[in-house]
Amino acid sequence: MIHQAKSYIKFVRLSKNKHGVHSPFVYDLVTKCFNDKTKYPEYQILKSYRKTLLADPSTIEMKDFGQGSRVFKGTARKVAAVTKNAGMKKKRQKLLFRLGYYFMSENILEMGTSLGLGTAALSLSNKYAFVNTVEGCPNTAKIAGEYLKKFKLKNIHIHQETFKEYLSLHSEEKFDLIFIDGDHNGERTLGYFNSFLNNVHNDSVIIFDDIYWTKDMTEAWQKIIANEKVTLSIDTFQWGIVFFRKEQPKQHFTIRI
């Protein structure tokens, strides 16, 4: 918590809006995607998806993966409470939708499905999108599958396995967009990143959630942006976003959304 507070103060001091951005690629991304105020009709579907989960009174046994929860004790959890506490926030869910839409990402990978809030956003982002999403907990994956089906989101494959298992089986597949939203452990996040270097192409984007969750996550983020294959990195505080565009000189931006 202290690490997050200190990091946030530093972030605010360093961060810029569109006026401080001297890269045409990043300027366009900020103005046409981050700051896009269009009320997309898909936002209504996302709202209704969240509302339905929040009204679900059932309790499920959840197997904890990754770093566990700072909110929940025990393994019996209410679907509504998981949606509220562990699920992606509305603002970020819309931004994730816009990122998929802006980049027209087709082959998408999400690490950490939970109840499918991010999955739904990615699924709706582009009619050509196909979303692979990985969730270790069998009961969580099952509920997510049921809800995604209920909302007729069909361009999705939920892989019920650990991140490590998934990566060992898909080391050659190329993804346009990868969203890492689970297992917020610095060493393992760095390991996932190194493994993803085989899964990216020149125009891929990787989004890391919670880069200031702990000191070791921030250290991992620093190592990721220093990697020679990463040419462009953007710190938005909650998310760290990296690109591999060879035509781009190596640059780092700190941007308030």
Ligand X SMILES: C[S@@+](CC[C@H](N)C(=O)[O-])C[C@H]1O[C@@H](n2cnc3c(N)ncnc32)[C@H](O)[C@@H]1O
Window of 22-30, 149-157, 180-188, 214-222 that interacts with ligand X by CB under 6 A: 180-188
Window of 5-13, 83-91, 167-175, 230-238 that interacts with ligand X by CB under 6 A: 83-91
Residue 145 binds ligand X, judged by CB under 6 A = no
- DSSP category for residue 47: H
d(CA 50, CA 46): 6
Measured CA to CA in angstroms, residue 65 lies from 36, 114, 135, 136 at distances of 34, 11, 9, 7
Question: Would you say 76 or 226 has its CB closer to ligand X?
Answer: 76
Question: Would you say 114 or 204 has its CB closer to ligand X?
Answer: 114
Window of 31-39, 84-92, 198-206, 229-237 that interacts with ligand X by CB under 6 A: 84-92
Residue 87 binds ligand X, judged by CB under 6 A = yes
- The least distance separating ligand X from the CB of residue 209, rounded to whole angstroms, comes to 7
Figure out which of the listed residues 129, 135, 176, 220 binds ligand X, where binding follows CB under 6 A: 135
**Identity (one letter) of the amino acid at 99?**
L
- DSSP category for residue 58: -
β pairing state of 177-180 and 107-111: parallel
- DSSP category for residue 8: H
Handedness of CA 95, 239, 21, 197 (dihedral sign): negative
By CB under 6 A, name the binding residues for ligand X: 65-66, 86-88, 112, 114, 117-118, 134-137, 140, 162-163, 181-183
